[in-house]
């Protein structure tokens, strides 16, 4: 029997393609696994989420600055960070259909706890003990090879003209935060920040993920929004608590996610340097899964880069002259994962009389199109001219769409589907009373508003 949620998820995936949010990569060539492209509405939604995060994490704060570091870094960065030797997932192959799976995920599906950070022998012990419970997601068999660690870093030949990639590979960054650590001193020396302070960055990351299912939840190329807050060691506990609260608030108050769909997951099995780690999980159609990780990383990162680079990354307090290695509180999330969450959260089907409408009940400031402008009839030049004038005025402040195609009811349905909060219709009365009808996406209520009041009306609505 097909699960109701599975049906809903399949429907959301096809909706994303049909309405220009997300396309499978290289589709005309038969596709390219675990990589996706973002269409006209997808990029607007992604930009809106990113802008909200940036506003909340950088512009609203005096103690946080931004950064845009390069995707490529010296390979020494990845040696120092431990990624070359230890950035791996445990993988096993189904002996029947040869599908490769992540062993921690197979065990999780079977209700057995295992962490991807466990050693090969630790995870093989648990795997062996529970082999009758695990199942290949493709063919259902439980006969697997041993678990082997598979490194996730993506290699390239950038700057290497020897023809041998393995000799001195350069890596596409596996996470954006290493760029923050290696610029810690640059930021400190070039701006007025003092500890405690944070550095935020948004950018692409690449991982050779073994299993990439669940649409854009886990992909090989994705965007991270990462935030590192540098603190005095004795303040780390207090700051960790603060950032856990701040990040939870962001989802509830800024993105409008219902608290019942979010939960905390505590990591019991910490890597040796981590002091505390929690994930915020969201109830995706395929269950509660990690959305964002919030970690107290101690002084590990700056110490490692100090040791390996020979540059002292410690901090001297200008007030007390006290010298110490800052600790780091990290909040790390995938932008694409947030996008999937907000679409799943907003995707709604409603009965209106005998009809059904699909409406994306996005938080209004996230909507890809904020205002749609329609002339009542396409073949009435006066109405079209007036609607164009309104569109031209409003588009300088909000993302607007002009639509004169089909009857107004159909146009409302199209805009509901992409989550447009307001539709304006210019009708014959508009030419006399200099007012238009504004229809609200959620309530479907209509009101008449004077044309010259529109900028103020929408400023209030989107404030």
Q: Cite the annotated binding site for ATP by residue number.
A: 207-209, 217-222, 290-291, 334-337
Residue 375 engages ligand ATP in binding (rule: CB under 6 A): no
Binding residues for ligand ATP, rule CB under 6 A, total: 17
Number of other CB atoms surrounding residue 338 within 10 Å: 26
Contact range with ligand ATP by CB under 6 A, out of 52-60, 233-241, 284-292, 302-310: 284-292
Residue 290 engages ligand ATP in binding (rule: CB under 6 A): yes
Report d(CA 444, CA 438) in Å as an integer.
9
Closer Cβ to ligand ATP, 300 or 422, answer by number: 300
Site string for ligand ATP, 107-146 (x = CB under 6 A): ---------x------------------------------
Q: Is 312 helix (H, G, I), strand (E, B) or coil?
A: coil
Distances (CA, A) of 86 to 229, 307, 376: 24, 18, 62
Q: From the CB of 50, what's the least distance to ligand ATP, in Å?
A: 14
Contact range with ligand ATP by CB under 6 A, out of 11-19, 43-51, 288-296, 392-400: 288-296
Asked whether the bond before 196 is cis by omega within 30 degrees of 0, the reply is yes
Residue 224 engages ligand ATP in binding (rule: CB under 6 A): yes
Report d(CA 268, CA 213) in Å as an integer.
26
The CA-to-CA distance between both ends of the chain, in Å, stands at: 46
Instruction: Give the residue, chosen from 293, 368, 419, 421, that forms a contact with ligand ATP under the rule CB under 6 A.
Output: 293
CA 33 to chain centroid: 19
Report d(CA 332, CA 240) in Å as an integer.
13
Q: Is 91 helix (H, G, I), strand (E, B) or coil?
A: strand
- DSSP assignment of 143-207: -BPPPEEEE-PEEE-TT--SS-TTTS-EEE-S-SHHHHHHTHHHHHHHS---SSEEEEEEEEEE-
Asked if 295 and 236 count as a contact pair (C-beta separation under 8 A), the reply is no
Which residues, 6 or more positions from 108, have their beta carbon under 8 angstroms from its beta carbon? 114
Contact range with ligand ATP by CB under 6 A, out of 124-132, 187-195, 216-224, 453-461: 216-224
Residue 207 engages ligand ATP in binding (rule: CB under 6 A): yes
Which residues, 6 or more positions from 423, have their beta carbon under 8 angstroms from its beta carbon? 371, 372, 373, 374, 411, 412, 415, 438, 439, 441
Q: From the CB of 16, what's the least distance to ligand ATP, in Å?
A: 15
Contact range with ligand ATP by CB under 6 A, out of 317-325, 327-335, 361-369, 433-441: 327-335
- φ/ψ of 428, rounded to 5, equals -65, -35
Q: What is the DSSP letter of 74?
A: -
334 token code pair: 């995938």
Residue 83 engages ligand ATP in binding (rule: CB under 6 A): no
Q: From the CB of 297, what's the least distance to ligand ATP, in Å?
A: 11
Q: Report 159-178 residues binding ligand ATP (CB under 6 A).
A: 175
Annotated binding site for substrate: 102, 175, 222-226, 330-334
Residue 337 engages ligand ATP in binding (rule: CB under 6 A): yes
Q: From the CB of 292, what's the least distance to ligand ATP, in Å?
A: 5
Instruction: Give the residue, chosen from 58, 333, 376, 426, that forms a contact with ligand ATP under the rule CB under 6 A.
Output: 333
Closer Cβ to ligand ATP, 222 or 300, answer by number: 222
Report d(CA 79, CA 13) in Å as an integer.
38
Residue 203 engages ligand ATP in binding (rule: CB under 6 A): no
403 token code pair: 């639509």
Closer Cβ to ligand ATP, 203 or 293, answer by number: 293
Q: From the CB of 384, what's the least distance to ligand ATP, in Å?
A: 44
Asked if 435 and 424 count as a contact pair (C-beta separation under 8 A), the reply is no
Q: From the CB of 357, what's the least distance to ligand ATP, in Å?
A: 31
126 token code pair: 């648990």
Contact range with ligand ATP by CB under 6 A, out of 53-61, 227-235, 328-336, 428-436: 328-336
Annotated binding site: 102, 175, 207-209, 217-226, 290-291, 330-337
In the bound state, the residue with its beta carbon closest to ligand ATP is 334
Residue 334 engages ligand ATP in binding (rule: CB under 6 A): yes
Q: From the CB of 31, what's the least distance to ligand ATP, in Å?
A: 17
Q: From the CB of 18, what's the least distance to ligand ATP, in Å?
A: 23
Q: Please work out, in degrees rounded to the nearest 5, the angle formed at the alpha carbon of residue 249 by the alpha carbons of 244 and 252.
A: 130
Q: Which of 404, 421, 271, 302 is nearest to 361 (CA)?
A: 421
Q: From the CB of 330, what's the least distance to ligand ATP, in Å?
A: 8
Q: From the CB of 336, what's the least distance to ligand ATP, in Å?
A: 5
Residue 250 engages ligand ATP in binding (rule: CB under 6 A): no
Interface with ligand ATP by CB under 6 A: which residues? 116, 175, 207, 209, 218-219, 222, 224, 290-293, 332-334, 336-337
């Amino acid at each position: 029997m097909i699960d109701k949620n599975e049906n809903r998820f399949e429907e959301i995936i096809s909706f994303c393609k049909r309405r220009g949010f997300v396309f499978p990569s290289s589709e005309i060539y038969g596709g390219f696994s675990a990589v996706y492209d973002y269409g006209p509405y997808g990029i607007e939604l992604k930009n809106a989420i990113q802008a909200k995060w940036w506003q909340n994490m950088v512009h609203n704060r005096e103690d946080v600055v931004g950064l845009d570091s390069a995707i490529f870094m010296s390979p020494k960065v990845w040696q120092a960070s431990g990624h070359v030797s230890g950035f791996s997932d445990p993988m096993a192959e189904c002996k029947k259909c040869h599908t490769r799976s992540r062993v921690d995920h197979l065990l999780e599906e079977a209700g057995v706890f295992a962490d991807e950070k466990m050693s090969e022998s630790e995870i093989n012990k648990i795997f062996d003990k529970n082999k009758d419970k695990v199942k290949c997601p493709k063919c259902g068999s439980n006969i697997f090879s041993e678990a082997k660690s598979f490194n996730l870093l993506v290699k390239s030949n950038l700057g290497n003209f020897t023809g041998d990639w393995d000799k001195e590979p350069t890596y596409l960054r596996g996470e954006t935060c290493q760029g923050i650590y290696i610029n810690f001193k640059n930021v400190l020396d070039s701006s007025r920040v003092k500890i405690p302070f944070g550095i935020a960055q948004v950018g692409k990351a690449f991982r050779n993920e073994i299993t990439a299912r669940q649409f854009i939840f886990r992909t090989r190329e994705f965007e991270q929004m990462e935030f590192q807050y540098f603190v005095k060691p004795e303040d780390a506990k207090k700051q960790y608590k603060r950032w856990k609260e701040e990040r939870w608030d962001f989802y509830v108050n800024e993105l409008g996610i219902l608290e019942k769909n979010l939960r905390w997951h505590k990591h019991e099995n910490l890597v040796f340097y981590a002091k505390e780690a929690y994930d915020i999980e969201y109830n995706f159609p395929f269950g509660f899964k990690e959305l964002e990780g919030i970690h107290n990383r101690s002084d590990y990162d700056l110490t490692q880069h100090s040791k390996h680079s020979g540059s002292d990354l410690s901090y001297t307090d200008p007030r007390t002259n006290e010298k110490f290695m800052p600790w780091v509180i990290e909040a790390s999330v995938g932008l694409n994962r947030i996008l999937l969450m907000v679409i799943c959260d907003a995707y709604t089907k409603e009965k209106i009389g005998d009809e059904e409408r699909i409406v994306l009940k996005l938080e209004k400031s996230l909507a890809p199109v904020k205002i749609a402008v329609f002339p009542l009839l396409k073949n009435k030049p006066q109405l079209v001219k007036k609607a164009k004038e309104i569109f031209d005025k409003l588009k300088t402040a909000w993302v607007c769409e002009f639509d004169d195609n089909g009857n107004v009811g159909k146009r409302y349905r199209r805009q509901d589907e992409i989550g447009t909060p307001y539709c304006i219709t210019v009708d014959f009365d508009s030419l006399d009373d200099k007012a238009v009808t504004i229809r609200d996406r959620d309530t479907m209520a209509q009101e008449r508003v004077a044309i010259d009041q529109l900028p103020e009306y929408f400023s209030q609505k989107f404030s």
